[in-house]
């Protein structure tokens, strides 16, 4: 019986999201400030995140758990968000580019406007890397 179940299950096709589908879902979640949901739904377990830290040093986080932790750390530095925006994504091959910005008061740093270009690489229906440009 177990073998029949496995054979039946192995014949089922698992839907892999296209780059366009990922871009649409990512855009929707970013507009709602739902980065944790985006990580859970759209990222590969071994994804990487690359950006410069406050000192200008390039940092690479490896693995979904490290990316989640980085997001939580950033959120902990935000005192208040006054406004934010997410522009519609641009797709180029297996890459997604989205401009985002926010006007926020940061703990110990005061109010500031930030904007960034976010680049995402897709492979096998998942985000395998993200990179942020300021």
The ranges assigned to domains in the chain are: 16-133
At 10, phi and psi to the nearest 5? -70, -20
Q: How buried is 21 (Cβ within 10 angstroms: 0-12 exposed, 13-18 middle, 19+ buried)?
A: middle
The predicted structure's pLDDT at residue 19: 98
Q: How confident is the model at residue 4 (pLDDT cuts 50, 70, 90)?
A: very low
Q: What are phi and psi of 56, to 5 degrees?
A: 85, 10
- CATH label, 16-133, candidates 3.10.450.50, 3.90.550.40, 1.20.1440.120, 3.40.50.11720: 3.10.450.50
pLDDT digits (tens, 9 = 90+) for 33-77: 999 999 999 999 999 999 997 788 999 999 999 999 999 999 999
Q: What is the pTM of this model?
A: 0.86
Nearest CA to 86 among 97, 68, 104, 100? 100
Q: How far apart are CA 134 and CA 125, in angstroms?
A: 27
Cβ partners under 8 Å of residue 113, min gap 6: 101, 102, 103
CB atoms within 10 A of CB 37: 13
CA distances, 126 to each of 18, 55, 107 (Å): 9, 31, 33
DSSP character at residue 49: E
pLDDT confidence of 78, banded at 50, 70, 90? very high
């Amino acid at each position: 019986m177990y073998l029949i179940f496995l054979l039946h299950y192995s014949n089922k096709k698992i839907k892999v999201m296209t780059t366009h589908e990922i871009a649409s879902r990512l855009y929707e979640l970013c507009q709602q400030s739902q980065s944790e949901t985006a990580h859970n739904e759209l990222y590969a377990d071994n994804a990487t995140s690359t950006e410069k830290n406050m000192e200008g040093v390039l940092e690479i986080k490896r693995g979904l758990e490290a990316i989640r932790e980085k997001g939580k750390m950033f959120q902990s530095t935000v005192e208040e968000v006054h406004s934010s925006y997410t522009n519609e994504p641009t797709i180029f091959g297996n890459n997604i580019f989205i401009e985002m910005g926010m006007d926020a008061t940061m703990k110990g740093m005061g109010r500031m406007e930030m904007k960034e270009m976010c680049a995402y690489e897709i492979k096998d229906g998942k985000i395998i890397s993200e990179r942020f440009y300021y």
